[in-house]
Every structure is written in structure tokens, then in C-alpha cells.
Structure 1
């Protein structure tokens, strides 16, 4: 089973991927579980979950811009407001029964990353660390994230951070677990899984995305 836990749609202001094409892309890439994590929005994820075929497990997520950088909430039923403290953001995610994921947390060239001091404060509240992000500025930041996850006994995930349809599933976690229906199931699947994928040069990705607009 292949899992991509970081993907955007046209519900994000910097993405034009239409919801209707995502299931076919996932089928072609062999993606079984996809988290839609639009910037400060969940309507795209909710809509895709409604229209997706049974073989595609869509997790409703949100990449929330906190007062100190981004945190992803998974298994959400309600929108998390932006600009809250990281602590309150995670509290609201957990109040919905969701999971808090740290995306691209070690890339200093990403202005939206969760700031190091905030990361230290909430390290015990985080549930998942993104161990492979397809669009960090250097592959070494992914390696550092995986080491941090191991040190703090957190499961590592893979996220394409796709802002274009062709990038969906470019990185993924493959797990032998065949049934993932709950947040607990997901944590177990991640712990048993292995990360695969291709890092995309962010400079080339930037120009491809600009050309597509």
C-alpha cells in the first residue's frame, strides 16, 4: 500500500490541479492513500473524498499557517483557523481526533517552515514527521528530518507536496499494512513502512509551475 500525505489542489491559491483528475493520477501511480493538505482550506479535500472511487482512500487534511510556521492536520472535520499559536493549532487538530504532522520542518530556505523554537516547544505534541518532502531545497534536509523523527520516536511520512498533478505520488511511503481506516491505523502503517521517491529540484519546479499558470 502506497501513501502520499502531502498534496495540494486548486483549493490552494498556488495550485491549479483539478479535483476530477486526481483519482486517475493516483491509479496510474499506484497511490492508495492520499492526504489533501491545501493551504488553510479543507473544502477541496472534502469534495475529493466525496467523489473519489472506493479504492482511493482520501484523508482530509489542511496545511495550517500558524503564527510560527506550518503544521499539517490530518483527519479533520472542521477548518483550523490560521495564525494561531503552534500549540493551539495542534490542540485543535487533536480535539477533532486528528493527527499533527510536521512538514518540511528542517529546510531553512522555506519561509513557511515551523520555526526551530516552536518545533522544540511542540515536539511532544507532534504525531508524525515528514521524512521525505518532494520539494525541499536540498535532500539533506529530508535526511535530517528522518534522524529527528527517529531520535524523538516519531513515525516518518512521505509527502510529494504536489502543486501539479504530475508530481502526485512522486514520493510515497510503502507499507505492508492493508487496512488503514483510522488515525491509529495510519500511525501503525507509517511505522511499518519504507519511504521511496524522487526529490524535485525546487528551482526547476518553480519555473515549471510559473510556465503552467
Structure 2
């Protein structure tokens, strides 16, 4: 039955995946928030194949986001388990850009037949949020008609600044460079207004070998749909090219420390941003603030190291990090740590 809110309840599938993995408490969880199976055009990957690949890669969760359809939700219950959370969603392919709904109920389907001139986007975002879900601006600079996002970032809850579907050897290209730069330019103003859109990275996997490149690493109170979405919503997350890349980022002032997505109060004391990174041989680290790139440093040939940068809490309202390989492609992006004077 179709409702005026733009969501269609197809069925409450008995075989839908569980929304919580038992016994997995607070921690950092790796997941791919934009994944397609054979139910979407351009792919022949089955849920069974994708789940096996996710487990092999070491992912903790994946989000199934078929194009404009929820009929495949019922197929995922059989492949989820005590080592893999499956989040239900949909890629909404409007005429003037795509967005991803994360955290849908089984059988919920989001309307997609409109464009920016129809001025109805908010009508279709609202019920996703009312259901506890998140709305994601997908691949904003996709290089095909209808794929580039013509809606403003601040209409959404998250921005997919890194999308891997067009990759050849590495899931980083000029479209991702443009999306991450656009997101970064708007971050200071959003934080100042008190509403900002955290970044995520997703593979948008259609073909074998694409899953998890890139993916998002999120701090969640448990491995459940609600907790993962809460961590993403708060920006307690960072983006990784692969599971071989590991990092830890915090900002310290006196005896106080804050991690990604949280806030540290400087109280007039010197502030130190500290990054520990693994898996980026001969790469480089850059610290970004509201004034742009504030510090840059090379990583050793073995790819592991600690980089620190000292600054005043009065100089900026946030610090975030980018880590690149030696060829300039991206290895990791963090959401910001917020700083108060």
C-alpha cells in the first residue's frame, strides 16, 4: 500500500535479517553502507556471495541498498549471522541525483520518481528519519546524467564523499576528490551553525572485488542497526580504503581528550592532535582545519607511524585528517574532532 509520505510497505518479511548481533559490545566496527546485489541493474552478485565476501574481508556490517526496491530485503535473513550485521536500505535514484536511505524496516520502499524542480525531497526524507533511519547524499559528482547530486548537502544526514564503484586499481578518482573538497569547504560553516553532515565512504559494490573499497569504520555501543546508525549520525567514524588501513585519532588538551566526532575544551591550554596510522607505506598525513591544510607530514616506508601537531584552541573549531598513499590516492579520511577555546 502506498502512502502520501512516499514510503510503500510491501511486506513484513519473516526472514529479514536481525537488527542486532548478540555479544558485540562497544567498539569500532567496519562496514560498507552502499552495496548492491543481483536485484539491482549492473550486477549479478547474490546475497550469499556478498555475505561471504564481507566475512572474508573482515567487515562487521553491510547495508543492502538496491535501486528503488525493497523486495530483496527478505533474502538477507538467511545470510546474516552472529558475525555479520545486515542493515536494510535503498538507493533512491531521482532524476537529479541519488541518495541512500539507511535503516529501513523490512519491506519499506522509498519513492524515487521526482527531481529537484519538483521540490518534494523533504517529503521523502522525513519518513526515513521518522523510522530512525539516515538519509545519505550519494556520489555527489558521479559522471553520468542523473547521477550528479543537485540537492544541497545540508538536506541530508550524511555525505558519501568517497564512492568506489568507478575505480580501476584504486577506489579514488577526480569525482571523489571533488566531493571530499566540497564537503570539507562546508564543514566549518555547518559546525558553526550547529548542524553538520558527517562523511562516509562506501563501495557502491556492483561487481566482484569492489566490496569494502572503501568502507566506513564507526564507533558504536554495540553491533546493531540502531547503534551503528547512531555512531554514523554523530560523526564518530572514519573512512578506509581497505581493512589493511588502521588508524586512531584524538585531540588532547591538558588531561582532556576527545576522539573523532567528539569535542575537547582547550580552556586556554595548548592542544595536541595525535594520529596513529598503520598500512600506508611511504604515505602522507595532512591535518585540516577551518583554514585549510594546517600541517603535513610524511609516513615511513613501512607505513606505520605517529604524527602529532600542536596548536591553540582559539585557532580553529575542529581538526580532521586525510591520509594518502605515495601516489596521491586516498587511504583514509576522518570526520572532525571538535575544539572549543
Q: Deviations over 1:94-139 (max 9, x none)?
A: 23221101111123x22232543xx22xx33301111210024771
2:238 matches 1:193: yes
User: Considering only CA atoms, is the larger Rg found in Structure 1 or Structure 2?
Assistant: 2
Normalising to structure 1: TM-score of the pair? Answer: 0.79
Give 2:179's aligned residue.
145
Aligned mate of 1:17, from 19, 25, 45: 45
Q: Where do 1:130-141 residues align within 5 Å? A: 130-136=160-166, 139-141=173-175
Q: What are the ranges of 5 or more consecutive residues in structure 1 without an aligned counterpart? A: 199-213
Give 1:64's aligned residue.
92
Give 1:184's aligned residue.
230
Q: What are the ranges of 5 or more consecutive residues in structure 2 without an aligned counterpart? A: 1-28, 115-119, 188-195, 244-341
Give 2:32's aligned residue.
4
1:195–1:13 Cα change, 3 Å:
same
Q: Deviations over 1:159-182 (max 9, x none)?
A: 111112321112112345462421
2:146 matches 1:103: no
1:7–1:168 CA contact under 8 A, matched in 2: yes
C-alpha distance in 2 between matches for 1:145 and 1:102: 10
2:218–2:231 CA contact under 8 A, matched in 1: no
Greater relative contact order, per chain length (Cα 8 Å cut-off, separation 6+): 1
C-alpha distance in 1 between matches for 2:139 and 2:98: 9
Q: Matched residue pairs, number?
A: 192
Give 1:202's aligned residue.
none
1:72–1:192 Cα change, 3 Å:
closer
Normalising to structure 2: TM-score of the pair? Answer: 0.51
- Higher share in strand: 2
- Higher share in helix: 1
Deviation for aligned residue 1:35 = 0.8
Q: Deviations over 1:73-92 (max 9, x none)?
A: 00012111221443322123
Say which SS state the counterpart of residue 82 (structure 1) adopts: coil
